[in-house]
Structure 1
């Protein structure tokens, strides 16, 4: 479609898209392609995925971009392939090899040691992020410093690994491959789990593959590939459905709804955290928080 044709298209309705991101694309690449598919510049993403990773990436379209900074995406689930037997500069398969274990060293690692090592990395732990992460050091991204040849030492930080379940173990001459499910808090690096497991076992480790299956309330079952979206460019959730899924719901009467649409404060709803205000017709009016006895709109989604 030409730019002239795109400019004549009516804007799409606001809502969220759950995309099944392919490997090899950055989250920004996905946004650029969705802008073309949906015919709008107003596209943003939440919960960035590394280029090598696949799976759930949540995008906001039109007014729904206002939701992205308020979504509770602090719990994520991944299917991971961990390779024991080599460490890399990036803690994943795309980096240069730093060390390699011998066949004898790998054979000396019993299955029980693997499960014990996984158990030690489950729960509330202190994790040193990967040196090629987006963590900032003195105002600069760690990965940019590494690319510039600078030494990067990141301090450990608390993260929670709610679940680290071994699904399968395969032994080959030069590696041990593990398939695992990891459910973790935001800020947890699965590649760092692979690195630390390999280090604890004395053979090195890195992440071989990663697929995100959930982020917050959004799951792979609702995700669509970019190719499928190209054929059928419709939202995963319209604005009303997105707010109802992602936030506690508070319904208000018509008079209160009008006040909300004009940006006025209304009586508190007694709901903890950010919640959605809905009109009697079921339309999402705003996101609000209770403050000192009143509900204050943090985002008005359906202004008067």
Structure 2
């Protein structure tokens, strides 16, 4: 995908910008910064990152905000550092340390034991999310209940860890530092992986660094810092994103007229079980359609 530049009128441009989020900012704050840079209020993001986390945050402008929910963003990649030897109230470095291991306990842990423990977290696993997650419990976010002093018990959920590599193990001032790289399904909590690895090894653990390197097809190669975007706003046009993400159908003028108004179309050979990006003869992205028996019907129309 080739980004456009700030020469485009961003207030009406439809597209995706991939932000390299800095530490210390919420995803909401990043959206506010992008909104100001682009001069439009129609900005949304996919896949929240915690303030301490950095890396890929996919942001949509104008009509592309509606496209975010249709993109294949379930698979994600992370680089992270786990500190073994200390348990945190939030499973990361922003919480209070609630327990620590002795130097003798840490000295007894080998790199081979860490690798063996990691093996047990690959594949489809049952994971209890962090108590300070955004999961709602009786209509209220779990982290809000924790901050209010309530006890929160979250149910385990099934997630898939397709890659969990130990990159480095080293002695740190506060414990053993373990660098990892992870490919996982949506809904996976890397903080929970850190917590559970520490529990498995009997010394406790929490996350001290988290960098998301990929969301779906969007990786660091297309990501830009807020400072870079302020100088040159690299926007991926909605048509290119749609063409690179979905099967493509180029409509004739009559079909395009029907698609613009969201009418079902007969006789189209679209890919079963998938959404197809519909384009008019000029190359304008019009809509996403799916096959329904003998008809193709819209799931979302992006033009009026």
What range is the shorter-chain TM-score in?
A: over 0.9
Determine the C-alpha separation between the residues in 1 that align with 2:214 and 2:292: 31
Q: How many residues align?
A: 294
Residues 226-267 of structure 1: CA deviation (Å, up to 9, x unaligned): 0010111241x1010111122222222222111101221113
- Deviation at 1:54? 0.5
Residue of structure 1 equivalent to 2:5 = none
Residue of structure 2 equivalent to 1:5 = none
- TM-score normalised according to structure 1 size: 0.93
Residues 260-293 of structure 1: CA deviation (Å, up to 9, x unaligned): 0122111343312222112233221101122232
1:71-150 alignment to 2 at 5 Å?
Answer: 71-150=71-150
1:123-272 alignment to 2 at 5 Å?
Answer: 123-172=123-172, 174-235=174-235, 237-267=236-266, 268-271=268-271, 272=273
Residue of structure 2 equivalent to 1:287 = 288
5+ long unaligned stretches in structure 2: 1-8
Determine the C-alpha separation between the residues in 1 that align with 2:231 and 2:172: 42
How has the CA–CA distance of structure 1 residues 173 and 300 changed in structure 2, closer, same or farther, with 3 Å as cutoff? Answer: closer
Residues 99-157 of structure 1: CA deviation (Å, up to 9, x unaligned): 11111100011111100110001111000000000111112111111011100011111
Residues 172-217 of structure 1: CA deviation (Å, up to 9, x unaligned): 3531111111000000001100000000000100011000110011
SS in 2 for 1:200: helix
Determine the C-alpha separation between the residues in 2 that align with 1:101 and 1:219: 37
SS in 1 for 2:78: strand
1:38-77 alignment to 2 at 5 Å?
Answer: 38-77=38-77
Determine the C-alpha separation between the residues in 2 that align with 1:167 and 1:182: 10
Residue of structure 2 equivalent to 1:296 = 297
SS in 2 for 1:65: helix
Determine the C-alpha separation between the residues in 2 that align with 1:29 and 1:10: 19
Determine the C-alpha separation between the residues in 1 that align with 2:217 and 2:303: 23
Determine the C-alpha separation between the residues in 2 that align with 1:281 and 1:143: 49
Kept after mapping to 2: 8 A contact 1:14/1:239? yes
Determine the C-alpha separation between the residues in 2 that align with 1:66 and 1:174: 45
SS in 1 for 2:60: strand
**Between 53-62 and 263-272, the greater mean CA deviation after superposition:** 263-272
Kept after mapping to 2: 8 A contact 1:102/1:174? no
5+ long unaligned stretches in structure 1: 1-8
Kept after mapping to 2: 8 A contact 1:106/1:174? no
Kept after mapping to 2: 8 A contact 1:101/1:174? no
Determine the C-alpha separation between the residues in 2 that align with 1:248 and 1:99: 52
Q: Calculate the aligned-residue CA RMSD, in Å.
A: 1.3
Kept after mapping to 1: 8 A contact 2:10/2:38? no
Determine the C-alpha separation between the residues in 2 that align with 1:96 and 1:246: 42
Determine the C-alpha separation between the residues in 2 that align with 1:115 and 1:180: 11
Determine the C-alpha separation between the residues in 1 that align with 2:99 and 2:246: 46
